[in-house]
Amino acid sequence: MSPAKGGGRRKIVHLGVDSGPRHNTRACVEFAALLREYTDWIEWGDGYAVLDVTDNKLDIPFGMRVAKMIKGDIKRQLGWSVSVGLAPSKFLARLAMERQRPDGLTVVLPEQIGDFLADVPIDQLPGVGAITRQQLAAMHIERVGPLAQVPLNELVRRFGQRGSSFWHLAQGQDDDPVAPAEQFSQVREETSFAAPLYTREEMRDALRALAAALCGRLQRRGLQVRDVSLEVRYPDFRTATRTSRLAAFTDRAQAVFAAACELLEHTEASDLGARLLGIGLGGFADEEIEQLDLFAGETSVGN
C-alpha cells in the first residue's frame, strides 16, 4: 500500500543530480541502495529521483530532516552534488528542487504553498504548452498566482477537463502518487508482522516464503544472482541489514533461503524479535545490463 496521499500529510522529496558520473554502473547502484535505506517508494527519471518519505523506514516525522540527511549522505558517500526539493506533492517538490540549483535545498510547507506558487510562470504547470500559454496570456494570466484566483467553472468552460487540472495545480493540490518501477539492480521481497516474531522457526518459515517468491521471479525472467541481503526490523523499529555473496550464481530458492538463514544468525533477531523481514537479491549474472544505469539516455548531468 502506498503512503498517505493528499493535503499536507505527504512529504515528497525530489532529487536532481547536479554533478556525478552519468554512466557509472556501480555508483548508480550505490545511489539506488542509499535511497532505499529511506523508502521503497522511489520514482526514477533521467538524472532525478522522486521519493515519498511520508512513512520512511527510519520513522522520522520531519520531512526537512529526512531531506537534509539524504542530501548529506549522497555528498558524503558518493561525492555527488544534488539539488533537493521537499513539498507535499510531486509537482511542488519538482518546482522546489529547481528553485535553488545547483546544490540547493528548498522546502515548501503546506502553509507556504500559495506564496511559493504566486510568481511561478504558468508554463511550469504540467499540460501548459505554447498554445495554452497564449490563451492564458489573453486572459492576462502569466503567473500561477492570478490563475489560482480564476473560478474553477470558468477554467473548465474554457479548457474543459484540463482547466480543472490547471485550477487544482494552481491551488497546490496534486495527489499524483510516487510510482516505483522495479530496478534491475536488485529484486526484493519483504513481509511485516502484526505482532513481532520471536522464535527461529517462525522466522525461518517467513524467509522460506520470501525466497520462494523471489526465485520464482528470477526464473520467470531468466536471471541469476550471487548477492543476498537480509533486512530485519526489530520491535523497537531499529533496522539491521546483512549481506553475503554466494559461491556461484543461482536462481534456486533453497540456496537463497540457506543464505538468508545464515545472515539471520548475525542479527539480534533471536534476542529482540523481528517486526519485518526482507530479502534482496542482486549481483546479476550480466552485471552490465543496460537497466542498471539509472541515468541511461542522458546527454548531460544537471542543467
Q: Identify the band that residue 291 occupies on the pLDDT scale cut at 50, 70 and 90.
A: very low
Average the pLDDT over 248-272 and give the result.
Answer: 94
What is the structure's pLDDT at 289?
43
Nearest-angstrom CA–CA distance, 60 and 182: 24
Contacts of 39 (CB under 8 A, 6+ apart): 51, 52, 53, 55, 56, 57
Cell numbers that stand for 28 in this block: 548508480
| Domains along the sequence of the chain with CATH | 12-109 (3.30.70.270), 120-170 (1.10.150.20), 187-282 (3.30.1490.100)
Average the pLDDT over 266-288 and give the result.
Answer: 84
Question: What separation in angstroms does the CA of 137 have from each of 124, 131, 143?
Answer: 14, 10, 9
What is the structure's pLDDT at 126?
81
Share above pLDDT 70 across residues of the chain, in percent, rounded to a whole number: 86
What is the structure's pLDDT at 252?
94
Cell numbers that stand for 145 in this block: 498566482
What is the structure's pLDDT at 21?
58
Is the distance from CB of 97 to CB of 16 less than 8 angstroms? yes
Question: What separation in angstroms does the CA of 149 have from each of 43, 161, 194?
Answer: 32, 18, 47
pLDDT at residue 274 above 60?
Answer: yes
Nearest-angstrom CA–CA distance, 123 and 136: 10
Q: Identify the band that residue 249 occupies on the pLDDT scale cut at 50, 70 and 90.
A: very high
What is the structure's pLDDT at 286?
52
Cell numbers that stand for 303 in this block: 542543467
pLDDT in tens, 9-40: 899 999 999 886 555 556 777 888 899 889 98
The answer, as to whether pTM is greater than 0.85, is: no
Q: Identify the band that residue 1 occupies on the pLDDT scale cut at 50, 70 and 90.
A: very low
DSSP E strands, 75-216: 81-87, 105-107, 187-197
Average the pLDDT over 185-203 and give the result.
Answer: 85
Average the pLDDT over 39-60 and give the result.
Answer: 87
Share above pLDDT 90 across residues of the chain, in percent, rounded to a whole number: 55
Q: Identify the band that residue 257 occupies on the pLDDT scale cut at 50, 70 and 90.
A: very high
Residue 276: count of CB within 10 angstroms of its CB:
19
How many residues does this entry show for the chain? 303
